[in-house]
Chain A
Amino acid sequence: ELKVEQNPLFLSMQEGKNYTIYCNYSTTSDRLYWYRQDPGKSLESLFVLLSNGAVKQEGRLMASLDTKARLSTLHITAAVHDLSATYFCAVDETGTASKLTFGTGTRLQVTL
């Protein structure tokens, strides 16, 4: 059974600081996604990582994928309050662009 674990589960950080969220998964896969969820809302797609070594950046967020280590990271640079949300990674278990297994989620709180 595929397991997808995120670390940390909760992160409180000050504005302007940097931090990294880690996503470890237990099976081989080269398709990984990052999503953002605001309270009471649905999920918003952030990044699609489709190969080993893939790196994507959007604003203050940067995601990378290391399929050999079965690890993806979401790096936050100079956090701002608007980034407060829950972030999920999701692994394409079969590599067929079908079933996604979601990580445990990381609740990020950026304080002033």
Chain B
Amino acid sequence: GAVVSQHPSRVICKSGTSVKIECRSLDFQATTMFWYRQFPKQSLMLMATSNEGSKATYEQGVEKDKFLINHASLTLSTLTVTSAHPEDSSFYICSARTDYNSPLHFGNGTRLTVT
């Protein structure tokens, strides 16, 4: 089945530093990938839609200069959290679908802790 790989699974960083999270579609091409954020015991919130070869589309309230998204190939999207602060600590999950009628396949998620 379709697999979405996300790396790293966990990262701890100091306040003010930047962190890059990679999301790869392993056995299919994904022109569009989605980045979600989940706080503990809460639901998932869509942050942005990553489009291969063009700019990402950000949801209302998401700072595009803070959460940089790059989708340089059909199998790779990256999310960079710039100048991270403790309030950015969260579970970040990427996803993609194989075709119009398929569900979103989710990566394993990245737990970010900013100290």
Name A residues whose Cβ lies closer than 8 Å to a Cβ of B.
33, 35, 40-45, 48, 50, 88, 90, 97-105
Can you name the residue of chain B whose Cβ is closest to the Cβ of A47? Answer: B103
State whether the Cβ of B114 lies closer than 8 Å to any Cβ in chain A.
no
Which of A45, A50, A103 has the most B CB atoms < 10 Å from its CB? A45
Cross-chain contact A42 with B93 (CB below 8 angstroms): yes
Q: A88-B43, A88-B44, A104-B43 are in contact. Are A43 and B102 (CB under 8 A)?
A: no
Q: How many residues of chain B have a CB within 8 Å of chain A?
A: 23
Residues of B within 8 A of A44 (CB): 106
Q: How far is the CA of A88 from the CA of B43 in the complex (A)?
A: 8
In the bound complex, do residue B46 and residue A50 qualify as a contact, i.e. CB atoms below 8 Å apart?
A: no
Given contacts A88-B44, A98-B49, A103-B43, contact A48 B109 (CB under 8 A): no
Give me 17 A-to-B residue pairs in the complex whose CB atoms sit less than 8 angstroms apart, sorted by A's number. A40-B111, A42-B6, A42-B107, A42-B108, A43-B93, A43-B106, A44-B106, A45-B105, A45-B106, A48-B102, A90-B104, A97-B101, A99-B34, A99-B46, A102-B43, A102-B44, A104-B43
